[in-house]
Structure 1
């Protein structure tokens, strides 16, 4: 194939770039900021989209964040692309503190004591839930009875507390992002409109001068 890589990217390099993208997270953040600033919608609509994207990162719906953010932005009449870009608030560098804050808040609200080592680690519970889904699918195919123990533990110890606990910190973080983004986007759009207006005026002045010079030249020839 014409566009296929000739040298396949090594697995370790691909894994490293997932946690630390080429150019660093600073460059990735600048790209997101640049894209947000150039969106054509009003600042309030873009900021509502950002709110939806940031809030979504505090939900346990991993692999579905884009869909959840787009749905929230649609309900809030926010910019959907801004919502998708806002989900980059959740990344390999922030997922751990987001998860810990959400789980601790959830356990507190539910009146339980937070312990990431109940029966197994959090990572182990994610693995158990995935294995339950795979194993029970084949059990259903073979007509065998299902066993949902791993998924039940995952629901009780991880998913439900995460879902409840992520609401408050999600609202706080998303609202802070909104309050920061809205005036910045407004100022950028005003400055950009001013620059475009000056450029248009310069083009018009240049065209008028060129037209006047042509008219003057025509009068001189007529004389």
Structure 2
């Protein structure tokens, strides 16, 4: 139960987790455009129903796009237990409409279908290993009424969210990097000036003592 609680509500809360993600993104050494491409890949991936594969998909997309892979992994944080109900509900609803289905499954039925098909997949995997019959009773319903609507709707919404995240993050990251470089230059100049003053004082002292 404690492990489940930490997964749903990390230590320090989601706000602290979000701040940590932003901190890590700010510390990445790549140019702003590469980091933003990685963020876009991660955000897009969070809208797909391929749970368990989000890290791999985000990293692959970032690599194809020439983006920062670490940024893509961090950006998958957009999909979390707090946002998944909104993401799943909107994706399934839009996908069902685009596929011409009369109505989308309610949110609780969508999550229940994912739970059932996961149990079925695990049971069939054990069946293959033990020789028991493999039965796909609920997979067809899941694929046509849940997975495909979620995939179609999620890809479209995820594309919009990914592009928006790129357009918003790039100027912010670029401005932060320029300000950070300026601060580092000021710090370096200050240290250099202090070192020069110390060296000058030491030379004057040596001249007096000599």
Q: Quick check: TM above 0.5?
A: yes
Partner of 1:150: 138
* Alignment TM-score, normalising by the size of structure 2: 0.92
What stretches of structure 2 of length at least 5 have no aligned partner?
none
Q: Which ranges of structure 1 fall in alignment gaps of 5 or more residues? A: 1-10
Matched, 1:194 2:182: yes
User: Does residue 121 of structure 2 align to residue 133 of structure 1?
Assistant: yes
Structure exhibiting the larger radius of gyration computed from Cα positions:
1
Determine the C-alpha separation between the residues in 1 that align with 2:162 and 2:183: 31
The whole-number CA distance in structure 1 between the counterparts of 2:203 and 2:150 is 75
2:172 corresponding residue in structure 1: 184
Higher deviation after alignment, 205-214 or 142-151: 142-151
What does the per-residue CA deviation read over 1:150-182, in whole Å, with 9 as the maximum and x for residues that have no partner? 111111111111111111110111112112211
- Indicate whether 1:55 and 2:47 are aligned: no
Which is richer in helix?
Answer: 2
Q: Which of 12, 36, 50 lines up with 1:23 in the alignment?
A: 12
Q: What is the correspondence of 1:32-71 to structure 2 with a 5 Å cutoff?
A: 32-71=21-60
- Provide, for residues 60-113 of structure 1, a one-character-per-residue CA deviation record: whole Å limited to 9, x for no partner: 111111111001001001001100010000111100110011111111111112
Q: TM-score, normalised by structure 1?
A: 0.87
Q: Report if aligned partners of 1:103, 1:114 keep a CA contact under 8 Å in 2.
A: no
How many angstroms apart in 1 are the aligned matches of 2:125 and 2:3? 31
Partner of 2:82: 93
